[in-house]
Each structure stands twice: as C-alpha cells, then as structure tokens.
Chains A and B, each alone.
Chain A
Amino acid sequence: MDLRLTNQEPTEAERAAVDSVLGPPDSAWVGGDRGDDGHAAHGGHAARAQRHLLLPVLHALQGRVGWISQAGLGYACRRLTVPPAEAYGVASFYALFALEPRAPVVAHVCTDIACMCSGSGELVAALERTIGPSGERPSNGSAIWLESPCLGLCEQAPAVLVTRAGETPGDHSISNATAADVSAALAGTSQQRTGTVAPQTEDGGDGLRLLHRVGTVDPGSLDSYRSAGGYEALRTAFDIGPAGVIREVTDSKLLGRGGAAFPTGRKWDAVGRNPSMPHYIVCNADESEPGTFKDRVVIESDPFALIEALTVAGFATAAEHGYIYLRGEYPLAWSRLEHAIEQCRSRGLLGDDVMGRGFRFDIELRKGAGAYICGEETALFNSIEGYRGEPRSKPPFPVDKGLFAKPTVVNNVESLLNVLGILHDGGAAFSRIGTEQSTGTRLFCLAGCVQRPGLYEAPFGVTLREVLDMAGGVRDGNDLKAVLLGGAAGGFVGPDMLDLELSFEATRAAGATLGSGVVLVFDQTVDLVPILLRIAAFFRDESCGQCVPCRVGTVRQQEALLRLAADRPRGSVADETALLAEIAQAMRDASICGLGQTAANAIDSAINSLRVFEPQGA
C-alpha cells in the first residue's frame, strides 16, 4: 500500500489503544520500536485483511484519549496499511468520534422527538443556564455536553449518554435525566442509571413470546437463561438439521422486522444454497430509528436469546461466523452482550464445536459509532469492513454478495428472536398467530405522551387503539393529537386512524408503515412543527451524502420547513408544500437507499394527513 504518513509520533496512550485491538507491532516498519535491526517485514494480504478492525481501532483511540489525533490515526494506518485520507474519511463519518481535541467526558443530551415530548427542551435550557452552551468546556471542568439525536431510551425520556474516555472508559446512560444528573456526569460522579421497561412483564407476562424472559431471567447468567427454556431451540435445530430449520422458518411466514418485511425463510434459504463460501450471518442491532428502543430492551434483559437465535441462523445457513452490530449508544447492552458471548464461549455454546455437535460458530460483536445510516444493511457491511458506512447499490443483494462480498444473511434482532419460538412451536403453529399475511407477534415501542411508556408485545392485527390502551392511553387524560407510526422514517396518523389494524398489509393499505414498531404519541399540548423540524434536521445530519437526491433533498426539505415554521414562506404556503412534495418525490425515486427514500415520509404525512401548515379551523 502506498502510505503517505506524516512523521508525527503517537502518544503512549494512543499506541496502547491501537495495540489493544491489533496486538503489538511485529516490526519497526509497522510502527514498532525502531531500535530493532529491520531486515524483514510482513504485511500485504495479511495486513490488508485486518481492514475490518479499523472501526474497533478508532473506538479504542476515542475511548482511550477522548479524540482521534492525526498521529494516532497515522499509527493505526501504518498498522493496518490504510491510507490516512481513507481512514480520516472513515473516522469523520461517525458522530461519536471527535477529530479535534475534546474533553474526555461528554454528556450527550438527547433532543430528539421522543425526548422533546418529555422535557428535553427544559433540560437543555437548564443546562445552558447552569453549565453553559452546548460544546463549550466550563472553565473549571474537563467535560462538555452536546445535543444528540435519539439515544434509544425513549421510554425513559429525557435521556443522556455519558462517554468517558480514559484508561478504563466508562460510558453509561442516564434515564429521566435532570440538569443535576448532567452536572454530576460532567463532574465524573454519575453512573449507569436506566431501567428496563416492559410493563406487560410486570403484569404477569401471559402470552408473551418475545418478552417472556424480560425481567424474569438474570441477563448475566447463562444458567438462568437455560433454566428458562434457553438453548432448547438450538437443540431442536440440531435435531431437524439446517433444511428442517429453514422449512420451519419458511412455514412460519416470518417477515423481517427491520422495516422491509422480507420473508426470513427465503433469505436463509438463498444463503444456505449459495455455493460461494464462506457465508456470514449479521444481526443488525444498529437500532437508531428515532423512537425505537426494542432491541435495547431485549438485549439488555435477555442477551442469551439473541446469541442462541443467531447460532440457529448460522447453523441453518452454513455460516460459521456471525456478527452483531450494536449501536454505539447502548453501553449497557454492549457489556451484557459481551459478557454473554464470553459465557457462551466458555460453555461450548460458541466456538469450534457448538454443543458438541461438530458445528463451528462464533460471534463477533461490533459497535457502531453514531451513524443512523449504518442501520441500512449494506452500509452496515461497509462499516464492519472498515469503510465509510455508505450504502451500496443493489443488486447484488446481500444473499449473493454481502459482508466481505460473500453470501450474507442480515436480520434484525426482533426477526431473529422470533426464530426461537418458531422452533419451539413449529412454523405452522406460528403462522396461525397474527393475521393472514403478518404472522406472529410484534414489538411496539410506546413513547411520548402515553401513560405507561415502554416496550409492548402484541399479535399482528391488534388495532392502534388497543395498543394505546395497553399503555394506559394518552398521558394525563389528554386528547390525542397524532401518532408517529414507524419512526422518523414512518408517518403520522391522526386520531381518526385509531382503529387501524397493525399489520404489514393493513398499514400498507392505509399508506402508513409499522417500520421499526415505533408508536410515538403526541397529545394536544404538543406543537408538531418543532417535531417536524427536528425530524428534518435529523435526516439532514444523518444523510451520508453519497447520492445527490438525499444529500441535497434533505437540506432543501429542512430549509423549506424552516421557512414555513417561521411563517415566511417563499411564495404561498401552498407553493412551499408543493416544493416539499416535489423534493419528497425526487428523494423517493432516486435515492440509493431507504434513508433518502423515506426521509420525507413523516413530513409528507404531517402536511397531507394532519394538515399541519393549514390555518387552524380551515
């Protein structure tokens, strides 16, 4: 590789951070001590094959030092034979990485739509008053606070993520955060404070298929998981063989829960049959859709279930290597999953001979770094491989050329979890739950202005009204104004839609989407215009910028909304809404990936269904 490196020397801490991922350098030529008499060096394919460790290396630098310096990046480049310009492109892609000197402690304060309904505005105002403006280091402190997009703690809003760099990094989340909490965080005295909120489990949890272990098993104990029925599904899988597993999953008519609703059985079958080897199985846990927190709750409280489900998927599709790509804002889920994987390895449930059945399978855990787009499956592949998380053009589809250009199954956390129940009850029994086309149960993320926010499970076909009732209805007995279904990439529905049946087919027919299961509730006290502005700002920030319709469209969309919100439309309000519709269509038609294609959906629905910008009473 032609590397043009500066001669800047990394600090000891930076060197240690990189070496913690890559091991010590094997010669002076790749950054080792120049004291050796260097007459040979190894690199080439072996070094370039480590490119996928770039993101973990960047995490290590950020976590150790609090920011990524040129010298630190240069050392990483030398070790991985990645050109510095390319590595900079990767590092600068992710919001959680700082490329300028930054305080080691940062409080990321969520200002996204769910938290907006629960006082993030007041929290920010209090912080500005008591601590100072966002991003500014107080004169006496080694910490700053920053505004952040959705942190996935919507049911415990407002949320704060504290990142603390150092020899022992201490990232943690704080739910129901107050200004005092943030002050404590900046002073270095805060710690993890979140609850797991799945109210149905507190009511006995009858009939729950996906959440039945939440709150009842010890997430740190494999034995606890096993005594609650864990690893029975994998046993069944070994009994019926890969073809049997795929048959059951196909018979169950399980559709992917990530948003695209693709039949999981077909996906597995395509990869299982693909002659190109090796196969990969990737669990997409980069849950970043504003208002979504289901993966977090499940992983935090039932991590072994995900590991077992992924192992079953690997067995069914002849994959020996699984990846879980978890979003970087979930420190508790990360540590629980990390611990669970270690436990499974030590008990022979991952490794060269899983359960003594001669099946080799292991899981690599990967951490996102604050990029919504990495939830797009091909962007996620690029992110794992150590490139910028930009989506790829499809075809080729992941089942043909996915991770490392090999046949890859990529499944959402919730999709995988369903497999355990399918193997327990049989695919046919599963297919009788829910509706004709939407089988099984669905996880709904209830947040915003509801009485009991949290994660709920219900069979497909349940109505929106029933789901709201499960959560105790609108908060404080207020009137419902609107529900954002499916997250920022979904759409708003009004109170007139409460009897909407929540299934893939019914929502599609109604022009709505279930998306990631977001049911974000707004009562009559909430002004939707700031919510729309936040959504527009979110998409503008999160567009990867690769394709023009999305890169430009998300900006133009935000500008038009800002003009409307300021009551200074260019031309008439109708002119602006027509412009927005045109931008929306261009993004929908011409964007490479789902981000651009859906970036206008919520705004479009708010304008056209809720008539947000029409004079009151008109």
Chain B
Amino acid sequence: MFGAGGGTSSYREVEETDLIFLWGSNARETHPIFFHRVLKAVNNGARLFVVDPRRTGSAQWADTWLGLDVGSDVALSNAMARVIIHAGLHNREFIDRATTGFEEYAASVEPYTLERAELDTGIPADAIRESALAYARADRAMICWTLGITEHHNAVDNVFALINLALLTGHVGRYGSGLNPLRGQNNVQGGGDMGAIPNKLPGFQDVASNHEARARYEAAWNTTIQPKYGWHLTQMFEAMERGELRSLYVVGENPAQSEADAAHTLHLLESLDHLVVQDIFLTRTAELADVVLPASVSWCEAEGTVTNSERRVQRVRKALDPPGQARDDIEIVVEIARRMGHEWSYGGPEDVWTELRSLSPMHRGMTYPRLAELGGIQWPCWDEQHPGEQFLHARLWDEPKASGDPAPFNIVNNVAPVDELSDEFPIRLTTGRRLDSYNTGVQSGGYSSPLRRGESLDLSPEDAARLAVADGERVRVSSRRGSVEAPVRIDSSLRPGLAFMTLHFPDEVETNILTIDATDPKSGTAEFKASAIRVDKLDAAAAEQQTAAGANVAAR
C-alpha cells in the first residue's frame, strides 16, 4: 500500500498495540504462530475485534465479534468511517498533513448509515458503532487481514476500505498502529518482493513506469525489458481460453486444484500445447504436465532467504540433500537458461542475492553476514549501516507535511457477491482453512494429524434440522457451476444460511467445482469466499430417480 507491497508493522508492535482488528482472518487456525503474538497482545490488555461471517476460533477470543454477511466488508467499513466522522473522531491533523481526497471520501460514506449497514451486513448497529468508536479512540490500533478480504470479486476495494479507516484515524505510520495483510506462506512476501508478480521488478520497482530501474536491470542482465505489465494468474487463464497462451511453466503451484471452477480450469490446462511443472510433489497439475522438474524443498534442502509478513528477510540454510533427481530451484532455472543459450554464472544463492542487492535499493544493505548477525532484517534497508525499518510510512507523520506523495483516500462502494442467493441456491457457502491442513493438501496431506477429519460440508444446526440431515450424512452440494457429494458436519459456530468447506481434500471432495471464478479486475483473485449453493439429501434424489424410473416403466 502507498507504493510498498507489504504489511506496515512488525510482530513486536502487534504484541504492544492496544487494539487489533482481525478482518477476514481466522488467524487462530490459519496463522497460528502469528496468533500467538495476538494472544500476547490480548494478555497485555489489548482489545481484539474479529470480523468474520463465522464465529471462528479467533472470534471466540475476541472482545467483539462482528459476524457480517459474506461480502459486505465495504458496507461495514464505510459505516464505521461515517460513525467516526460524525463523532468528530477522525484525525483532522493527520488527514491534512498526509492524505488527499478526504472531502470526497467523507461524502462517499455519508449514505452508509448504521441502519443501512445493519441491513447490508446483518450486524447490529450498536456493535458497529461501538467497534468504530473503539478503533478511532485507541492510542494504537492495527487492522490485520487475510483472504476473507482478498478472495472476493472486489478484493482491492475491500483493501482500500480498510486503508481508508487507517488514514481516517491516523492509525498508520506510527509504532503499534498499522495495516497488515497476513501472508499465507513463509515466503509469499518474498515472492512478491523478488518480482514474481506481473507488474514489478524485484524490490517493488514498477516495470512500466520506473524507467530508471528498468534501465538498471537491462544493464545488469544485458537484455531489453519491455515496459509493460505481464499477466497475473487469472489473466493467464483468460489468455488460455482465448488460445493466446499455449505454454505454461508452473513453479510450486497446484492450479488444477486450487483455482475456482475446477472443471473449467482442468479443461484449460489439458488443452495447452506444453505444460512444465516444477514442484516437490507430483501434484494434480504435475500429473497433467509434459515435463516435470522435481525440485528441492526450500526450507531444508536449499540455501537462500525468505521474507515474512513483517518484511523480515531471513536466511534459510540447507540441512538435507534433496532426494533422487530433485534439484535446487536456482540450479533448474540456470540450467534451463543454459539450454536456451544463456550462460548465467551464479556460484550459488549468495551470488543471486548480491545481484539483487545491487539492483533493488530497498535490499541494498542486507548482506548475508548482516542477515545472519541481526537475525534477519526488515526492508527497506538502504545501506550496510541501516538497521531496517520496524514499521513503514513514518514519513506520513513528518512535520509540517508528509514527505513524498500523500496517501490517497480511495472511494469504494459496497457490491454484493457475484453469485447471488436465490430460491434455488439459498445457502451462502464460504471457504477457508483448518489448523491441520494447508490449501490443496499438497504440503500437509502427507502428514497425519489428530485434528484431521477430512472434508465436510459444515452446516448450522438450524439448516441441518431444516434439511433433515444428520451429522456425518452424505449430501449433494450444488452450485450454479456443478455439484459434489460431501458428508455433513453440524457446526454451531455457523449461523443459519451459512455453510463452510475447505479446499484441503480435493481428492475427497472437489470443493472448487462449486466456487465461482468471478475475479477482482485489479488483483485477479477469485471470489472463493462467496458461492451460492443448494444442499440435497442423497437418498431423496436417489428416490426421485427411482420414482422417475418407475414412472417410465409404468408408461411403457
């Protein structure tokens, strides 16, 4: 945000803040280590607010749980903003000093009255008002979010809505106040930092507009870099659909099972001319590949660095040799380059890193010895005397005026999920993760866990009663895209009309058959969090068929 793709705060600040909003995050299960920081904060007296349609394990720790209807995040945040402005608790001084667009923003949230928010979100007006006031009045306050914010067709709007709240109250750029997306893996942050996104060169330097940076890379790599953005994942699939993208090189991803509308995805992957998969397991995607490149495991079979959610670059060291023909990722890439006629000469990971430091200013001061000595360094780290930045955007508080570009308010409006509820599909299905498993299970399925219970359709006790289905009974779950069978699990943390599934066990239940590939136009993320479904008893369906068959016989 504000030009830097990372959380603003450090973990230490989470422990020492006064108020935490976990928005669209069940960190208790999905970021258990991070949640320990949250618990430390709670033990230190911090108040915890959890925004989540489900009353999750995280929500059970909260002082206040706001159980919004799926996809009404903007309605909630805009209503909170209106409460704050009407109470005169917006930080006028900070707004003048560091932001642009406040008047327009204030006007845009004006229609979001508490009455309307109660209708849009389902949350009682009192709870919204109290939460807004608490956030605005806190000395230090943080908003942390995860996929509940970003796996929507309006993902970027959702993020903007949260940023707006922080700008409105000045809860950013100060110790203990910030905006923090929690990363799903140990090195999601590092992947983006290293340029594995279609619009940035390593170090978050824009590939199209930052001509100086592009020139630097062109000189170092002795090549020409086109000043235009590449495709993100969703655009790639669109290009496949158009027939423009014919060859795909997949590194450490399992799109065959992780993408929404799985049947369609599978079809696109199968119709490629050439598919290369580089992974540590023979994933479902790898099974489709023309070439599989067995890779090493980054956290124990390879040297290098990872970057976590607090932007801390840390060394990882090799403990084991990779098995069989598996090879280090760098080695594979260099070898492919060689076969293509480019002799890249890297002596090892440190050489790659040294090159990065010469090209990415924000990594410049991070030598391997310093990374080891300081136990990791938080970017930016401009030179070898720089200790790294504990939190970002302190510049917004510079006197008398924020240095650099002011942070803009972005006007956003509430738009309901694409997959609308109807009489035919009356139940809102949302998806997420559980403590013992990870995504499509590629990395976690090989280990047993006493908590693991396989895939299920989690239903509220009321819905289960209404549908006359028992705990453990297999049912047919259908969306506008397809249907799957799954056992029912009755979960009292769900309210009527809300169902939950994970993507952990695609071999048992292919949940993504149900999900919708309505994607955010800016981030390309699909709306995994909101599908409309119908649940049917299996025996009833079977009985119907039989009845139909009987009728046919009778008609003969």
Contact = CB atoms under 8 A, between A and B. Distances in A.
Interface in A34-64: 34, 37-46
B63 A38 contact: no
Contacts of B59: 41
A452 to B, nearest CB: 57
A1 B58 CA distance: 8
B467 to A, nearest CB: 16
Nearest to A42: B64
B66 interface: yes
A81 interface: yes
A590 interface: no
Contacts of A616: none
B142 interface: no
A39 B61 contact: no
A43 B28 contact: no
B391 to A, nearest CB: 25
B495 A38 contact: yes
Given A2-B60, A46-B63, A40 B127 contact: yes
B172 interface: no
Contacts of A139: none
B57 interface: yes
Interface in B198-243: none
A299 B69 CA distance: 57
A2 B451 CA distance: 14
Contacts of A261: none
Interface string B442-469: 0000000000000000000110000000
A34 B64 contact: no
A81 B57 CA distance: 12
Interface string B38-71: 0000100101100000010101111111111100
B55 A44 contact: no
Contacts of B55: 29, 38, 41
B432 interface: no
Contacts of A3: 60
Contact of B122 (A2, A39, A44, A45): A39
Majority DSSP secondary structure for residues of A touching B: loop
Interface string B158-198: 00000000000000000000000000000000000000000
A44 B48 contact: yes
Interface in A6-54: 7, 29, 34, 37-46
A42 B67 CA distance: 11
A40 B59 CA distance: 10
A32 to B, nearest CB: 12
A44 B461 contact: no
Contact of A44 (B57, B63, B68, B496): B63
A29 B63 contact: no
Contact of A7 (B66, B122, B123, B492): B492
A39 B123 contact: yes
B122 A42 contact: no
Interface size class of A (residues with CB under 8 A): 10 to 19
Interface string B84-126: 0000000000000000000000000000000000000111100
A3 B57 CA distance: 8
B64 A39 contact: no
Contacts of B492: 7, 34
Contact of B495 (A1, A37, A46): A37
A3 B493 CA distance: 12
Contacts of A45: 42, 45, 47, 63
Given A29-B55, A37-B495, A44 B124 contact: no
Contacts of A40: 64-67, 123-124, 127
A44 B63 CA distance: 4
Contact of A39 (B60, B62, B67): B67
Contacts of B28: 2
Contacts of A39: 66-69, 121-124, 127, 495
B273 to A, nearest CB: 50
B123 A1 contact: no
A29 B461 CA distance: 13
Contacts of B63: 42-46
Contacts of A2: 28, 57, 60-61
Contacts of A34: 461-462, 492
Interface in A197-241: none
B65 A1 contact: no
B67 A41 contact: yes
For B42, B64, B65, B461, which residue has the most chain A Cβ atoms within 10 angstroms?
B65
Contacts of A44: 42, 47-48, 61-64
Given A39-B495, A45-B47, A29 B57 contact: no
B65 A43 contact: yes
Nearest to B496: A37
B133 to A, nearest CB: 15
Contacts of B462: 34
Interface string A484-496: 0000000000000
Interface string A171-204: 0000000000000000000000000000000000
Nearest to B124: A40
A100 B494 CA distance: 32
B431 to A, nearest CB: 20
Most B-side CB within 10 Å, residue of A2, A34, A40, A43:
A40
A3 B462 CA distance: 21
A42 B122 CA distance: 16
B470 to A, nearest CB: 13
Nearest to B62: A44
A446 to B, nearest CB: 51
A33 to B, nearest CB: 12
Contacts of B57: 2
A544 to B, nearest CB: 26
A9 to B, nearest CB: 11
A27 to B, nearest CB: 9
A87 to B, nearest CB: 16
B430 to A, nearest CB: 14
Interface in B392-419: none
Given A37-B496, A38-B495, A1 B61 contact: yes
Given A34-B461, A38-B55, A1 B67 contact: no
A7 B470 CA distance: 14
Q: Which of B55, B57, B68, B124 has the most CB of A within 10 A?
A: B55
Contacts of A38: 55, 67, 495
A43 B47 CA distance: 10
Nearest to B57: A2
Nearest to A44: B63
B19 to A, nearest CB: 11
A42 B28 CA distance: 17
Contacts of A37: 122, 495-496
Nearest to B462: A34
Contacts of A46: 63
Contacts of A42: 63-65, 127
B26 to A, nearest CB: 12
A43 B461 CA distance: 22
A42 B55 CA distance: 11
B495 A43 contact: no
B492 to A, nearest CB: 7
Contacts of B65: 29, 40-43
B265 to A, nearest CB: 34
Nearest to B48: A44
A38 B59 CA distance: 13
17 contacts: A2-B61, A7-B492, A29-B55, A29-B65, A34-B461, A34-B492, A37-B496, A39-B124, A40-B64, A40-B65, A41-B64, A41-B67, A43-B62, A43-B65, A44-B42, A45-B47, A45-B63
Interface of A: 1-3, 7, 29, 34, 37-46, 81
Given A40-B124, A42-B127, 13 more contacts: A1-B60, A1-B61, A3-B60, A29-B65, A34-B462, A37-B495, A38-B67, A39-B67, A39-B122, A43-B61, A43-B62, A44-B47, A81-B60
Pairs of residues from A and B, 3 with the lowest C-beta to C-beta distance, nearest first:
A44-B63, A40-B127, A39-B122
